[in-house]
Amino acid sequence: MHFWEYLTFLWHQLTFKAQPLPDSIRLDGQTAIVTGSNVGLGYEAAKELASHGLSCLILGVRDQAKGNAAKEEIAEVSPGCNIQVWLLDHNSWASMVAFAERAHTELDRLDIVLLNAGLKRLEYSQSPTGHEAHVQTNYLGMALLSMLLVEPLRRTAQLTGKPSRMTITASSVAFWAPTRYVEKPQGGKGIIAWLDNPASFVPGTNHYMLSKLLDLLWTRALANRLNPSDIIVNIPNPGYCQSSFHRVDEGAQNFSKYIAFSTIQGAYHLTDAAVQHPDSHGAYLSEQRIRLVSKFVSSTEGNTVQHKLWNETIALLVKECPQAKIEEFI
């Protein structure tokens, strides 16, 4: 990260105050899915969406008991919302496919999808799928769900005559990631294979930052393949927030005492992106407005990496999760 970028980051953290959705915004009759929603930003975002008249809210969570607790708390504030807890594990292809199939068959409509589930680790760990934990949870799980939920979103757009919304939680750390890992992956097997390799892992936040860069590149590639009159896809940065998300990183927790947004303020960025900004298709949002991406992401080299990552990801999902029938999407 360059010194100027760091100063800009600090300036926004210390001076910007995120705003909640205006009271005039009503979501009556609409259905939303929020993943990673039993705690933290996802929980607060789900709670705010429900408070604006949302008819049905699906909490996608790994733990049923924690999901039920979140449901009860949100229901106290928004008793008129039909809140359901659906199990969802980004470490299981079968779980993600089953979750999407429920959305296809059990929901009459799906207006908003907020893909927010994620993790942060400082040491190398591997998912049960065999992929590095950040690669699996933050990237591959998100990528699979983003495709599997396209059809119910598109169907709702045709029903309502207005675009449905898909928002994927980003982070400004995507622009701090060491791009050599994706531009020139070692081993000759591609970007994902290199990031899965323990030899690529540097203790600390490198892989977390890289996973958010993959998220950003994927979202831009996905948006290129979707019609914004059907589905508006965007990727907001909630800023640096006080959250249990940083519980493995003592330095980040200590730092957050001085400059971090509250969890509620961070969630305001997500709901803002999921409901407002009709011109944000394929866009990165920060401080609740459309922002430019990094020079790398917008460069010829970045576009080449984006194309390569898309092809690698599709090939991987076709091979490892054939039940998802990814071929039908592409």
Query: Is 57 contained in some domain?
Result: yes
Query: Is 149 contained in some domain?
Result: yes
Query: Is 116 contained in some domain?
Result: yes
Query: Is 132 contained in some domain?
Result: yes
- Residue 287, exposed/middle/buried by CB under 10 A (0-12, 13-18, 19+)? middle
The pLDDT confidence band at residue 11, using thresholds 50, 70 and 90, is confident
- Tens digits of per-residue pLDDT, 134-186? 999 999 999 999 999 999 999 999 999 999 999 999 999 999 999 999 999 99
CA-to-CA separations, 247 to 135, 231, 250, in angstroms, rounded:
19, 35, 7
Query: Is 148 contained in some domain?
Result: yes
Query: Is 329 contained in some domain?
Result: no
What is the CATH number for 88? 3.40.50.720
Residues that are catalytic: 171, 208, 212
Q: Which of 240, 218, 238, 236 is nearest to 276 (CA)?
A: 236
Residue 325 has a pLDDT of: 87
In angstroms, the CA 320 to CA 135 distance is: 14
Instruction: Give CA angle at 236 (233, 240), nearest 5°.
Output: 160
Q: For the chain, how many structural domains are there in total?
A: 1
The pLDDT confidence band at residue 246, using thresholds 50, 70 and 90, is low
Determine the number of helices (DSSP H) and then strands (DSSP E) in the chain.
14, 8
Residue 330 pLDDT greater than 80, yes or no: no
Residue 178 has a pLDDT of: 95
Of the listed ranges 3-7, 66-70, 105-109, 287-291, the one predicted with least confidence: 3-7
Query: Is 236 contained in some domain?
Result: yes
Query: Is 34 contained in some domain?
Result: yes
In angstroms, the CA 274 to CA 242 distance is: 21
- Domain holding 261, by residue range, is 23-171+215-293
Residue 262 pLDDT greater than 70, yes or no: yes
